[in-house]
Amino acid sequence: MESNDDKFHEECGVFGVFGHSDAGAIATLGLHALQHRGQEAAGIVSFDGRQFYSERHIGLVGDNFTKPSVIKRLSGDRAIGHNRYATTGGAGLRNVQPLFAEFAGGGFAVAHNGNLTNAHTLKRELQLRGSIFQSTSDTEVIIHLIATSEKGPLVDRIVDSLNQIEGAYSLVALSRKKMIGCRDPLGVRPLVLGDLDGAYVLASETCALDIIGARFVREIDPGEMVVITDGGIESLRPFEAAKSRFCIFEHVYFARPDSIIEGTSVYDVRKRIGMELAIESPAEADIVVPVPDSGTPGAIGYAEQSGLRFDLGIIRNHYVGRTFIQPSDSIRHMGVKLKHNANSSVLKGRRVVLVDDSIVRGTTSSKIVQMVRDAGASEIHMRIASPPTRSPCYYGVDTPEKSKLLASRMTVEEMANYIKVDSLAFLTLDGLYRAVGQEQRNMEQPQFCDACFTSDYPTFLTDKENERASSQIATLVGAS
Amino acid sequence: MESNDDKFHEECGVFGVFGHSDAGAIATLGLHALQHRGQEAAGIVSFDGRQFYSERHIGLVGDNFTKPSVIKRLSGDRAIGHNRYATTGGAGLRNVQPLFAEFAGGGFAVAHNGNLTNAHTLKRELQLRGSIFQSTSDTEVIIHLIATSEKGPLVDRIVDSLNQIEGAYSLVALSRKKMIGCRDPLGVRPLVLGDLDGAYVLASETCALDIIGARFVREIDPGEMVVITDGGIESLRPFEAAKSRFCIFEHVYFARPDSIIEGTSVYDVRKRIGMELAIESPAEADIVVPVPDSGTPGAIGYAEQSGLRFDLGIIRNHYVGRTFIQPSDSIRHMGVKLKHNANSSVLKGRRVVLVDDSIVRGTTSSKIVQMVRDAGASEIHMRIASPPTRSPCYYGVDTPEKSKLLASRMTVEEMANYIKVDSLAFLTLDGLYRAVGQEQRNMEQPQFCDACFTSDYPTFLTDKENERASSQIATLVGAS
Amino acid sequence: MESNDDKFHEECGVFGVFGHSDAGAIATLGLHALQHRGQEAAGIVSFDGRQFYSERHIGLVGDNFTKPSVIKRLSGDRAIGHNRYATTGGAGLRNVQPLFAEFAGGGFAVAHNGNLTNAHTLKRELQLRGSIFQSTSDTEVIIHLIATSEKGPLVDRIVDSLNQIEGAYSLVALSRKKMIGCRDPLGVRPLVLGDLDGAYVLASETCALDIIGARFVREIDPGEMVVITDGGIESLRPFEAAKSRFCIFEHVYFARPDSIIEGTSVYDVRKRIGMELAIESPAEADIVVPVPDSGTPGAIGYAEQSGLRFDLGIIRNHYVGRTFIQPSDSIRHMGVKLKHNANSSVLKGRRVVLVDDSIVRGTTSSKIVQMVRDAGASEIHMRIASPPTRSPCYYGVDTPEKSKLLASRMTVEEMANYIKVDSLAFLTLDGLYRAVGQEQRNMEQPQFCDACFTSDYPTFLTDKENERASSQIATLVGAS
Amino acid sequence: MESNDDKFHEECGVFGVFGHSDAGAIATLGLHALQHRGQEAAGIVSFDGRQFYSERHIGLVGDNFTKPSVIKRLSGDRAIGHNRYATTGGAGLRNVQPLFAEFAGGGFAVAHNGNLTNAHTLKRELQLRGSIFQSTSDTEVIIHLIATSEKGPLVDRIVDSLNQIEGAYSLVALSRKKMIGCRDPLGVRPLVLGDLDGAYVLASETCALDIIGARFVREIDPGEMVVITDGGIESLRPFEAAKSRFCIFEHVYFARPDSIIEGTSVYDVRKRIGMELAIESPAEADIVVPVPDSGTPGAIGYAEQSGLRFDLGIIRNHYVGRTFIQPSDSIRHMGVKLKHNANSSVLKGRRVVLVDDSIVRGTTSSKIVQMVRDAGASEIHMRIASPPTRSPCYYGVDTPEKSKLLASRMTVEEMANYIKVDSLAFLTLDGLYRAVGQEQRNMEQPQFCDACFTSDYPTFLTDKENERASSQIATLVGAS
């Protein structure tokens, strides 16, 4: 959908409900609320005590899971679901989660938000032992590890498997008796627990609890595994203790502004980011204009702190489809105009502070700046609600390779020239840490994963080091 | 799509381009920019000097007109297009415009924004003469009138036909030699003229000129017909002179905020509406919160005028699909939560001014108010950016029947109780006229059509008076 | 489907049932039995006392009308249906019959087997009066004639209309009160009446009565119109008396061998054709081999008369789809092999009498002969179960233009050389008349329409004479 | 398609071509010629030296593999394909063959005609080792055996795997370097080798060679494996020597009559069957009538031997679709009438010998007999071109369970009463052996697999003995 919008993209959202007679419909609503975390495809697996049911579709939840027939097929009082972002090499339906396998001991479904940094290496080993892969998803590695584990009971097999993997993951899984939720030891990706009239709910964000009217109970801790059965919920700590490294970019951009993360409102954090930005990088200007929608809370904060007027100088068209055909008599900045239009009555003759959440390749920023300029802005002072993004993410976020990141090859001044603004400023790393409630970044033991700003990756990157391994992939291909 | 959102809905947007080698792609972009005027279906007819090409699809422009094969089929240097809103009795593809007919004199396509108030009466007469209708669209009446007109040249036949119809219309039509644009004598619906590197462009709103980089030339006048040929543009005034009665609700809600209407920015009008509202109906409160997105400019105006803080207390989920299945254990206010979620960190403990554009049935308003209350707002003062809507529209807007309009059966105080707010105020009619730049409403000769507020309909309503006639419709049915 | 098989093709089959609670399902079965008369598309219109229901689909009855949902939608105790052959210029769904129109007096559906020879001329006149056409089907001319007739009651309007048309037609029509069946004055196309437990049935052939277990009552007479209502059946003779000219090619090829036409079994006629052929053109040979399936009864008759052995020297593959891709390393005679394969154990070393029903372009015949030769036949004596087809049909049969007909440009001897057989013989015209039970052809007043053999067309060919008129067609186009 | 026709059904046809620039198109034609061996689905995998391409579709070859885009995607000079019959528990696309897996050593595709009798037992063992299955096809067992084999080179791994399986199989497989063909040691299913201008071709039957103009080289021997590479063809004999037990029912019904099996024409065998039947069980009658199409060669043989007249007393409608809706006013014998209609002019007043290939449940036979009786036959003497089928097949043929087989619970006399014929006779087992060219059945070492007549199964039936094992199936499920 929006794959050309020059943003980082979260690759997934997960959801689970256990003990509710409408589990399938509940999961559909939960995934709808998490749609911002992945728009390519969605899937739900339910279980009714005898049988598993699976519905997986390319496209939005609201387009594919709203027919009564679909919900009716998702029978049972427990269900897990998954939203998936459109990644480049994506291979159609067989990569849509939840993945499901019948083990010798019974059925097992898993939905995964995150990314493993040793998936290729493990896959190669599994293939040499004779495991045949059906998808190109790293989630399937987890399934084969569980299938071939020599431990006995399912939970032990899962723990055995997770101890072999590196990277970031928030998992929701479903077996015949259990729903399991788990975050990696660093807790890079979010996962929260809710309660809906006695039913247990797991979700990537609290906004998915709100839509179904569930009560927010608590976050799943980094390194925690919860095992939910008819008998209740049990909490395990199967991993070595580690300091949490939550993804700070969830606060900047990924999470929905109405979600609560680590006890803090995402909207409040983003407004504080705007305020910090106004303090660090004020501007002589007439109005503060957001690049909607992601820049809006920051712009409100900036305006409030600076006393400048907040105005909608750019109007967003929310009807967006696939790639439009570019007329051969090329239209200037057509791509950006499909989604944004300058509101010239606001901009004309004004000195504008333009607030956006981040700059990735810089392509969209350049076009938006030009559009604002064409609409009559006399000066443009761009303010970015995060530090420069210099490094790719290996933990479940779709980012361009390093060389494509504008901040990896230019100074701020060069970037200002490139996108043609009168001034450009990024939030400092410490400003960002302050906005999320820290005094400053702990350089020894950073409180967050901020590798996209700092290149300080909190796990091994085994596959990256063994890239040879990745050239031979063993896959049992499904549909043509 | 959003047919349950309890709003008035514009039924159509029209677009045309003449003299551009990429006419098909240009029309696609234009319709995309006008998507807010109709989401059910879209169609484009082009002509390449020898043949007409037609593409009509149920669904969004961005979903159906972005394949190269579709654009390639729309060959030629002229094209007209149409967006259609999902009306209740809609009968599938055969009602999707532009409608096309081969007359004895050659092909003719027409796209129509508006509604005729004597369509049924005319249809009945045409059927008795032996005309067979293929659609249930009133636009087809115009086509049959032209086909059976006893005048000679096409333009004369069109004028002859338009002189027989009552109601509101902005038309764009295409014949082998001409593109024709026309507004009804009262100019109820908008239509503008643009220039794209020498090609003529017609569009419902200026935002459709912006997306293609066309220059805004002027509005087509009420009662004006422009005839565009290879030789240039000619302006005709074929109707009796009349005072303009532009639809004031285009300013309130229908038009995109970045469009310019009658020389005024829609966004500016909406901010001024908010300011008038703050002057007329101030509130003791902490924050001003819009019901997004339509309430946002009004809320910004209200906040600016009142000095209260503007904050996003409701977050909108822009991923919306068809009707979701309501779980049988009913979720409170599920419908509204699919699109809106309360941002509790903003609302908790606050006295809130809640700004929306209008109240139609009141169902959504009640749910939003309850959601805001549940999120912790201590007081809710609702301010509506228009007068009470008491009467249905017969000029191309989808409105419920009169008895379903909350304001037609309750006083403002009763409405406040019904939707459970601490206070409720609507903008006055004069306040609205002031916001659009008039001193006050001219009671003798109102400057606008404001019948939805006043029941003062500017045309005859022949069909309504002859409702018997409408029971027998003559239609040649297409696909099953 | 089989449009490349170098045969004449019947363009339509019609069916109707009145007074049976399962009218929709009955019509589906009837059309399935008539599938050989048209494979491109099928449609059914039913009426339940209040409303008409229409289902029209591209493809086979067995593929599109077997879902319970489709049959359920075809509510009511009366229904008419139509099978359509894939004609070249066919314009998709809008030409699929039954066509349906809402007249001022109510709904009207019609299904038509045949072809009008003055359709273009009438269409032109209707367009000049302002009628707008939605299809390119000549059946729609009839509908517009009825709509614009100045007579009063429906039956009078129909008679008025049919009196203006020339050509061949067997019609089945449905209004709110009546089912009407009608054959043109010459009775070129068949139409029979049946009785199913008191319900009236109309069908192109008796095989459609057999499948539903209906009793054959009688043929509708040439020039007869039957009007069926709740009160019973009434027979009208609204046309000037004329001598019957039934299509003799129905006996040769179009009709199903298990149908009874004019009191005679089609299978028996075809066997007698084979016998006549054996008498007229015997051959020194070992075996008689049919080109299946159409040549089979003739071959059985030839074998029986001649005393030669009947054997299946060619095996037909009944699974046929759209046009296969020809490998670039061209496979010899690929087209014919998709449907036929030589059975070499039968053919090797044998002198073969090869029996086919007709030769059209000669392309398939050449390939079959070569295939039989390649399989080892020592001699091939081709015997054709009809006279040479020298002229196109204008009465509802898809035939190539005259210059493409092999027999129109070659003598029999030249044809034998062209298709490379050791001998070639066609049935004589008198032989054919004998086979259908006549002593001989009455040269003054032929008993059949045999224009494809004789160019003796039994009606005016107005359109052909006014071909200028056909260049301008007025059509209201439906879906893109 | 024809799943209700009360016949045994071959479950598969296989095809392969190696060394031809149009491999994809060639494979499509080959599968089209083998369509009678499986109509549910078809698939082709090709390889172009770098990459494998897979196309798998539900439905007929002629409906799904004829688009240029499909053939274009099947790039490369080698391809294998598979037709699949509609089995009851079939699980959609993931069971459509060829199955494809990426092993550690590269890609591997396999297409399989036959059935394993220890598949469940092996699957259970593989799952306990951690193999995850994606389909419910027993073919996947072979793939997992190869993946987990501890042998080195691919051919050794395949042999290792095949040595563990029991049952019947003719395989065609494709790796990066090789095309492999293999028949089980008993040679139950057919597989032939052909030559197309130097390219190697493997196919279930010779009719697939005919359609592409390939030369028949020889049959693959029972227990033979051929390995085809760029260097040529190599023949291996990796299994213990065994006596051949070819499926005798291939001669009776499965194979196409124009195929050559074991040096004999299938058509000739079927005519000889009819002759044997006439000798063993003559009848006082007027005509011999086949139940078309499968009974036709036998009926021709019977007529030739007996001197009775051969006539088409039943006409087959070759347009067959999915299950039609039975009207609630039940039509007598509707099911059988969809495909067959009595030709009453042939049957009326006649004593009829009715020849069919086999009686399975007896349901269809009863209805056909009744239909023939209703059409006026005075006597019906049914003659069956095979011995009574008393036992299910476990070697790749879809048969009802034993208790559903009419011959397993009735004597011939009881059967005659049940289907209401004047006399009934089956071919004797020795008669059948004579017809296929043997003096008689060797009771010690039968020359064929005739288990459906004799219950003499030539392999172990391990799964049947371990049915407990089959209740737990381990499957990695693909699409929902």
User: How far are the Cα atoms of B45, B115, B478, C92, C323 from residue B90, in angstroms, in the given order?
Assistant: 21, 14, 14, 22, 38
How many percent of chain A have pLDDT more than 70? 94
> Based on the number of CB atoms within 10 Å of its own CB, is A474 exposed (0-12), middle (13-18) or buried (19 or more)?
buried
Tokens of residue A106, six digits? 């019974």
Determine which of B69, B300, B315, B338 to mutate to test the interface with A (most A C-beta atoms within 10 Å): B315
Q: Does A312 touch chain B (CB under 8 A)?
A: yes
- What is the pLDDT averaged over residues D264-278? 98
**pLDDT given at position B468:** 44
Q: Does B478 touch chain C (CB under 8 A)?
A: yes
pLDDT tens-digit readout, C209-244: 999 999 999 999 999 999 999 999 999 999 988 899
**Nearest chain A CA: its distance from D457 CA (Å):** 30
Question: What is the C-alpha separation between C202 and C192, in angstroms, rounded?
Answer: 6
- Pairing state of beta strands C232-236 and B246-247? unpaired
How many percent of chain D have pLDDT more than 70? 94
Query: Closest by alpha carbon to C137, among C178, C183, C191, C99?
Result: C99
Q: Is the dihedral of CA A245, A248, A253, A257 positive or negative?
A: positive
At C471, the pLDDT band (50, 70, 90 cuts) reads very low
**pLDDT given at position C479:** 29
**Nearest chain A CA: its distance from B235 CA (Å):** 29
The helix/strand/coil state of A334 is helix
Query: Closest by alpha carbon to C188, among C114, C269, C85?
Result: C114
Q: What is the pTM of this model?
A: 0.89
Q: Enumerate the residues of chain A whose CB falls inside 8 A of the CB of residue B328.
A: 21-22
Instruction: Please list the residues that pair with D229 across neighbouring strands.
Output: D232
**pLDDT given at position A165:** 95
Q: Enumerate the residues of chain D whose CB falls inside 8 A of the CB of residue A94.
A: 478-479
B65, B260, B317 member nearest A35 (Cβ): B317
Inter-chain CB proximity B474 and C102 less than 8 Å: yes
Touch of A by C (3+ CB pairs closer than 8 Å): no
Residue D207 annotated in active site: no
- What is the pLDDT averaged over residues D273-296? 97
Touch of B by D (3+ CB pairs closer than 8 Å): no
Touch of D by C (3+ CB pairs closer than 8 Å): yes
**pLDDT given at position D1:** 31
Determine which of A317, A336, A372 to mutate to test the interface with B (most B C-beta atoms within 10 Å): A317
Q: Which residue of B has its CA nearest to A197?
A: B329
Q: Does C164 touch chain B (CB under 8 A)?
A: no
Q: Enumerate the residues of chain B whose CB falls inside 8 A of the CB of residue C149.
A: 130
**pLDDT given at position B321:** 65
Tokens of residue C126, six digits? 């209707």
User: How far are the Cα atoms of A119, A121, A449, C318, D214 from residue A460, in angstroms, in the given order?
Assistant: 12, 12, 13, 62, 58
Q: Enumerate the residues of chain C whose CB falls inside 8 A of the CB of residue B144.
A: 130, 132
Q: State CA B168 to chain mean position distance.
A: 12
Q: C55-83 b/e with 16+ CB inside 10 Å = b?
A: bbbeebbbbbbbeeebbeebbbbbbbbbb
Q: C125-139 b/e with 16+ CB inside 10 Å = b?
A: bbbeebbbbbbbbbb
**pLDDT given at position D91:** 52
Whether the predicted pLDDT of D105 surpasses 90:
no
Other Cβ atoms less than 10 A from the Cβ of C1: the count is: 16
> Based on the number of CB atoms within 10 Å of its own CB, is A348 exposed (0-12), middle (13-18) or buried (19 or more)?
middle
Inter-chain CB proximity C94 and B56 less than 8 Å: no
Q: Which residue of D has its CA nearest to A134?
A: D134
Whether the predicted pLDDT of C277 surpasses 60:
yes
Answer with the residue of higher pLDDT: D329 or B186.
B186
Q: State CA D478 to chain mean position distance.
A: 27
Question: What is the C-alpha separation between C66 and D325, in angstroms, rounded?
Answer: 6
**pLDDT given at position A94:** 77
Cβ partners under 8 Å of residue A456, min gap 6 = A446, A450
Question: What is the C-alpha separation between B202 and B205, in angstroms, rounded?
Answer: 9
C106, C134, C480 member nearest B134 (Cβ): C134
Other Cβ atoms less than 10 A from the Cβ of A152: the count is: 10
Average pLDDT over chain C, rounded to an integer: 92
At D335, the pLDDT band (50, 70, 90 cuts) reads confident
Measured torsion, CA atoms of residues C406, C407, C412, C417, in degrees rounded to the nearest 10: -10
Inter-chain CB proximity D213 and C332 less than 8 Å: yes
Q: Which residue has the tokens 């639809």?
A: B247
Segments of chain B with pLDDT less than 70: 1-5, 86-92, 321-322, 329-330, 468-480
Instruction: Please list the residues that pair with C340 across neighbouring strands.
Output: C316
Q: Enumerate the residues of chain D whose CB falls inside 8 A of the CB of residue A133.
A: 102
A56, A147, A474 member nearest D132 (Cβ): A147
At C72, the pLDDT band (50, 70, 90 cuts) reads very high
Tokens of residue A313, six digits? 């100088």
D21, D207, D212 member nearest C331 (Cβ): D212
Tokens of residue B180, six digits? 């024709």
pLDDT tens-digit readout, C96-142: 899 999 898 899 999 999 999 999 999 999 999 999 998 888 899 99
Question: What are the two backbone dihedrals, phi and then psi, of residue D363, each rounded to the nearest 5 degrees?
Answer: -65, -50
Q: Is the dihedral of CA A244, A246, A248, A251 positive or negative?
A: negative
Query: Closest by alpha carbon to A476, among D90, D109, D165?
Result: D109
Taking 3-state DSSP, the helix, strand and coil percentages for chain B, each rounded to the nearest 5, stand at 30, 25, 40
Helix spans in C149-225 (H): 154-162, 207-212
Q: Does B213 touch chain A (CB under 8 A)?
A: yes
Residue D294 DSSP label: T
Question: What is the C-alpha separation between C15 and C212, in angstroms, rounded?
Answer: 12
Map out the domains of chain C with their CATH numbers: 9-245 (3.60.20.10), 265-317+331-438 (3.40.50.2020)
pLDDT tens-digit readout, C300-349: 999 999 999 999 999 999 887 667 887 876 677 778 889 999 999 999 99
- CA geometry: angle at B48 spanning B42 and B49, to 5°? 135
Length of chain C: 480
**pLDDT given at position C135:** 85
pLDDT averaged over 10-residue windows placed end to end, chain A, 480 residues:
62 95 96 94 96 93 91 96 71 82 92 94 94 90 96 96 96 97 97 97 98 97 98 95 93 96 96 98 98 96 98 93 73 84 97 97 95 97 98 92 95 98 98 96 95 96 72 38
Question: What is the C-alpha separation between D445 and D433, in angstroms, rounded?
Answer: 13
Cβ partners under 8 Å of residue C419, min gap 6 = C359, C362, C365, C366, C369, C382
D-contacting chains (≥3 CB pairs under 8 Å): A, C
User: How far are the Cα atoms of B337, D19, D123, D226, D228 from residue D235, in angstroms, in the given order?
Assistant: 69, 18, 29, 5, 9
Q: Which residue has the tokens 């070992």?
A: C286
**pLDDT given at position B165:** 95
Q: Enumerate the residues of chain A whose CB falls inside 8 A of the CB of residue D475.
A: 101-102
Q: Does C67 touch chain B (CB under 8 A)?
A: no
User: How far are the Cα atoms of B391, B406, D354 from residue B362, in angstroms, in the given order?
Assistant: 14, 6, 76
Question: What is the C-alpha separation between C366 and C379, in angstroms, rounded?
Answer: 14
